[in-house]
Structure 1
């Protein structure tokens, strides 16, 4: 039998060239081992310090997972889940792995709408829902939201979102719609007291920026959730914005996650379409990665 410590050293040596930062390899190690042993990080640290033995069956399982990691497969896909707002979400190659930047976007929405006038009803449109992490978190944190429409062009992604909704015991309306191909004629309850929130983390990485990404993103995460053509990088922002302009009356709050390299173009685009009160925010790394705007149309 192998010891925990020997496996830890072997794990580091195997992945050090793929992940040059030792801290990142260590984080991946704890994500894998806490998943396999169904325990917390403290327990793993204790087993490491005591140089406890790993039985052959478990060691074989760990090695198989390590080979997946060596092939650049993201740890979240290897273990089949990730965490978003401290909630567990099922993920696989059919959905984009939720990022901390998206947590910040959701937190912004929760901040803005922490108090809802009892005379107003709230409905949310989450466009490009993927794993459903945005919709499910909003419904979990604000159960008073009457309708949440989780929209995606990929049925495989909606199947995962459905599993996650069941996991967290929330009801959201899943819609299989390609926003680039139709007008998203979604039946909604709308009156003068309805507060509409549109949120999207759409594809926004230009193909020319592909070389800047870690290989595990390019090789495993869904292409359609990542990339846009260099000649029209705002394609999703424009489509969503024109849909809002055509479809809604009253006030619509829109929240986008954005490409930090073209944030000025996105601001100009929203202004030209008729959005006001545009605010941009930096993420935890200091990049301009999220934007909020308001559209108002009288009846």
Structure 2
């Protein structure tokens, strides 16, 4: 039996068109899958389709098996075991939340706001709270080598194992620590240097009542603890992090949060009430308020 690449393309479209009704999204998934399996670029895939090339049985069989995983709502990033963030490849599986474009915007905002710090008496350190795949801390360290230290925290050791693999993949030194933010305090390394501290977090912020608004592949496969917060206290993580900052950090502290678009006024009010200043809120590429920045001046 002969196997043609363009025929697989038709099967792919037919199988997933109901799950992914947006044509651009479906095309994107197709290219992520095929470039991964065939180990080539998008242009080569297009050429193979146009030329109606044959593919061998083993390749066809691999593609079909991955297609059935996609049919079961498994996200493409978990199917191929990787995701892209800031143009960089990150290893992912069901233990980590899949990096999103909105988070790229948050990281870009930090990079824009913090140019090279020429005052060597004030080195920069970053606390990446709820690091997941490590994409935030790793990207900041990679793009801003003048950052002296990146400390990354997560509640799950399996999650930290993936983040650690990603740090090795990108050849950056990050300090990872297993901390359950809701029950434990984050340890601050003792150092006499006057650090400029950057706190960044994309914590769980989706209310359980909003679960029905999500695509089934998010609910079925992505780690529950990385997504949801109780309806009665949706700001629980922002509160924990903010009060920790007030208790533990001195000097200038820049705080960057990714936020729930429906709760941006609540977060704004909370940060104002507890004494954070220079608060700025920012829309993402879709026009939703999804990022907030604030400054806290801790007493020395």
Give the TM-score normalised by structure 2: 0.98
Q: Corresponding residue for 2:176? A: 174
Q: How does 1:36-185 map to 2 (within 5 A)?
A: 36-119=37-120, 120-185=122-187
**RMSD of the TM alignment (CA)?**
0.8
Deviation at 1:143, TM superposition (A): 1.2
CA-to-partner distance for each residue in 1:62-120, whole Å, 9 max, x for gaps? Answer: 00000000000000000000111100000000000000000000001101112212322
Name structure 2 gaps, 5 residues minimum: none
Q: Corresponding residue for 1:250? A: 251
Q: How does 1:187-198 map to 2 (within 5 A)?
A: 187-191=189-193, 193-198=194-199
CA-to-partner distance for each residue in 1:243-269, whole Å, 9 max, x for gaps? Answer: 000001111000000000010000011
Q: Secondary structure in 2 aligned to 1:148? A: strand
Deviation at 1:186, TM superposition (A): 2.7
CA-to-partner distance for each residue in 1:132-158, whole Å, 9 max, x for gaps? Answer: 000100110111211100100010110
Distance (Å, rounded) in 2 between the aligned partners of 1:190 and 1:223: 39
Distance (Å, rounded) in 2 between the aligned partners of 1:90 and 1:56: 27
CA 1:127/1:207 → structure 2, altered by over 3 Å: closer, same or farther? same
Q: Corresponding residue for 1:23? A: 24
Q: Which 4+ runs in 1 deviate beyond 2 A? A: 188-191
Distance (Å, rounded) in 1 between the aligned partners of 2:10 and 2:190: 56
Deviation at 1:185, TM superposition (A): 2.3
Distance (Å, rounded) in 1 between the aligned partners of 2:94 and 2:104: 20
Q: Corresponding residue for 1:278? A: 279
Deviation at 1:224, TM superposition (A): 0.2
Deviation at 1:190, TM superposition (A): 4.9
CA 1:188/1:286 → structure 2, altered by over 3 Å: closer, same or farther? farther
Distance (Å, rounded) in 1 between the aligned partners of 2:103 and 2:299: 31
Distance (Å, rounded) in 2 between the aligned partners of 1:190 and 1:71: 53
CA-to-partner distance for each residue in 1:198-233, whole Å, 9 max, x for gaps? Answer: 000000000000000000000000000000000000
Name structure 1 gaps, 5 residues minimum: none
Distance (Å, rounded) in 1 between the aligned partners of 2:19 and 2:79: 16
Q: Secondary structure in 2 aligned to 1:53? A: coil
Distance (Å, rounded) in 2 between the aligned partners of 1:250 and 1:26: 49
Distance (Å, rounded) in 2 between the aligned partners of 1:185 and 1:57: 51
CA 1:185/1:97 → structure 2, altered by over 3 Å: closer, same or farther? same
How many residues get paired?
A: 298
Distance (Å, rounded) in 2 between the aligned partners of 1:268 and 1:117: 34
